[in-house]
Structure 1
Amino acid sequence: MHLFKSLSFCTFSLLLLVLSPASSQTLTPLKEFDVKEAKQAVAVDAQHFYVINNSTITKHAKADGKLVATWDGTKEGIVHLNSGVVIKGKLYCANSNYPEIPMTSSVEIFDVKTLKHVDTHSFGIAQHGSLTWLDQKDGHWFIGFAHYAGKESSEGRDVRWTSLVKYDMEWRQVEAWVFPKNLVDLFTPKSNSGGAWGADGLLYCTGHDRGEVYVLKLPKSGYTLSHTGTLPAPIEGQGIAMDRSVAGKTLLYGIQRSKHIVTVSEIR
Structure 2
Amino acid sequence: MIALLSALLLQAAAEPPAVPFAPAAETLRRYPSGARQGVAVGPSDLYAVSNWQLVRYDKQTGEKRAEWTGDPARFPHINSCAVIARELVCASSNFPGVPQVSTVEVFDPVTLAHRRSVALGLGTGSITWVDRKDGFWWAMFANYDGKGGEPPRDHRHTTLVKFDAEWRRLEAWALPASILARIAPMSVSGGGWGPDGRLYLSGHDLPELYAVRLPAGGGVLDHVETIPMEAEGQAIDWDETAPGTLYGITRRTREILAMKVK
What TM-score do the two structures reach when normalised by structure 1?
Answer: 0.88
* C-alpha separation in 2, matches of 1:250 and 1:173: 30
In the comparison of the two structures, how many residue pairs are matched? 245
* C-alpha separation in 2, matches of 1:130 and 1:242: 22
Letter of the structure 2 residue corresponding to residue 73 of structure 1: G
Asked whether the 8 Å contact 1:41–1:82 carries over to 2, the reply is yes
Deviations 1:112-158 (A, max 9, x none): 02111111101122x21110001011110110000000353213111
Q: Does 1:53 align with 2:47?
A: no
Task: Give the corresponding residue for 2:15.
Answer: none
The counterpart of 1:65, out of the listed 52, 62, 76, is 62
Give 1:26 shift: 5.1
The counterpart of 1:204, out of the listed 200, 205, 218, is 200
* C-alpha separation in 2, matches of 1:213 and 1:255: 13
Task: Give the corresponding residue for 1:40.
Answer: 37
Q: 1:75/1:128 Cα in 2 relative to 1: closer, same or farther (>3 Å)? A: closer
* C-alpha separation in 2, matches of 1:46 and 1:224: 34
* C-alpha separation in 1, matches of 2:25 and 2:46: 20
The counterpart of 2:254, out of the listed 241, 244, 260, is 260
Q: 1:73/1:151 Cα in 2 relative to 1: closer, same or farther (>3 Å)? A: closer
Q: Does 1:159 align with 2:133?
A: no
Deviations 1:151-170 (A, max 9, x none): 53213111110010000110
Q: Does 1:85 align with 2:121?
A: no
Q: Structure 2 unaligned runs (5+)?
A: 1-17
Q: 1:103/1:65 Cα in 2 relative to 1: closer, same or farther (>3 Å)? A: same
* C-alpha separation in 2, matches of 1:21 and 1:229: 6
Where 1:100 maps in the other structure, the secondary structure is coil
* C-alpha separation in 1, matches of 2:181 and 2:19: 22
Asked whether the 8 Å contact 1:32–1:262 carries over to 2, the reply is yes
Give 1:213 shift: 0.5
Give 1:78 shift: 1.1
Where 2:115 maps in the other structure, the secondary structure is strand
The counterpart of 1:122, out of the listed 108, 119, 122, is 119
Q: Structure 1 unaligned runs (5+)?
A: 1-19
Asked whether the 8 Å contact 2:22–2:227 carries over to 1, the reply is no
The root-mean-square deviation of aligned C-alpha atoms, in Å, is: 1.6
Q: Judging by fraction of residues, say which structure has more strand.
A: 1
Give 1:189 shift: 1.2
Task: Give the corresponding residue for 1:232.
Answer: 228
Where 1:152 maps in the other structure, the secondary structure is coil
Where 2:25 maps in the other structure, the secondary structure is strand
Q: Does 1:243 align with 2:239?
A: yes
Give 1:24 shift: 6.1
Q: Does 1:178 align with 2:174?
A: yes
Larger radius of gyration: 2
Asked whether the 8 Å contact 2:87–2:109 carries over to 1, the reply is yes
Where 2:210 maps in the other structure, the secondary structure is strand
* C-alpha separation in 2, matches of 1:238 and 1:26: 17
Give the percent of matched residue pairs that are identical in Structure 1 and Structure 2: 39
Letter of the structure 1 residue corresponding to residue 221 of structure 2: L
| Moved beyond 6 Å, runs of 4+ | none
The counterpart of 2:211, out of the listed 212, 215, 234, is 215
Q: 1:24/1:239 Cα in 2 relative to 1: closer, same or farther (>3 Å)? A: closer
The counterpart of 1:98, out of the listed 95, 100, 114, is 95
Letter of the structure 2 residue corresponding to residue 29 of structure 1: T
Letter of the structure 2 residue corresponding to residue 34 of structure 1: P
Give 1:29 shift: 1.5
Give 1:190 shift: 1.0
Deviations 1:34-69 (A, max 9, x none): 11x211010010100100100000000111211000
Give 1:243 shift: 0.5
Asked whether the 8 Å contact 2:19–2:223 carries over to 1, the reply is no
Where 1:182 maps in the other structure, the secondary structure is helix
